[in-house]
Structure 1
Amino acid sequence: MSDDTPDETLRGILTETKTIAAVGVSTNPVRPSFFVMRYLHYRGYDMIPVNPAYAGQKIFGREVVANIADIPKDQPIEMVEVFRRPEAVPGILDEALTHLNGLRTLWMQFGIYNEQAAAVARANGLRVVQDRCPKIEYQRLFGELRKAGINTGIISSKLPETIK
């Protein structure tokens, strides 16, 4: 399966989103979830770490909560990023739809597809991204991968309208 979310939609999500609940994030600095959370944190996103195994610990100054229901109701969360197995996504989505304020996007990391949860999310007005990493998409769409010599397929310079 491949996610066919257009680049314009991904760019919009990454531009409009301010607060992300990272479900399944690890405190282990060599785990991909930690690496992604660190990157997004340093790009200015307010990252809310969610993982019952690490509840009460801190990552980048934020206390890890056990589950989405532990996030204060007055805390707007625009995006839920899932680092869990596909079969866990429907429960995560149910909890998010019940407890979160301002939710606009359900984002599933690499290797995570759940069409049933995606359909429910879309039916509730959410944007859905599957099998993609927001860190990599941010780097690709906002020019950071080009600096490393990677062809992103995105043209970064164009002729001014007056020359065309």
Structure 2
Amino acid sequence: MCNKSSCPTACGASLNSGIGATDRSPRERAARDRAFTACTEWLVSSGGRYEAIAHLDDIGSRSNKHWFLLNDSTIKTDRLMTLIPLPPNCVALEELPSSECPQGVLMELLGSLQHPYIYPILDLGFHNTETQHFACLVTPFNPRGSLKDLIYKVRKKIVRKENEMLNL
């Protein structure tokens, strides 16, 4: 796992798609940096199953989410991780006995969802920093984009090429 501070050129180039980077405000860049740090920390704490490939540009319409392309080392396939900021009063952050773990309960509920237009949740985690709490959802990766992209026939396609992400 590469650390952005220890290898800024190698890691930063491969983890950042760079598309539209110059169009971002300092506030947006700071939010992306915080999301990148949270993603990296969650990947380390999740036991090394996933490796980050790219910090993707916005997908869908929720501006406070961040998306990362991951490689699942157990089955050698790409996955999409959605990093979602949680409010401080979120029930998932409450201290509960291990038998009532919110992560286990949520995985059971989300795992039981089955619909042709809903991607299954393959993994779920929570990551807390000093200032913010995040939920990390891992789903199958679709290079053709989100369901909304497919409905509106957006021509953007995400292609993995030599550890770099390109939006075509």
Quickly name the TM-score band, shorter chain normalised.
Answer: under 0.3
Question: Which protein has the bigger strand share?
Answer: 2
Q: Normalising to structure 1: TM-score of the pair?
A: 0.22
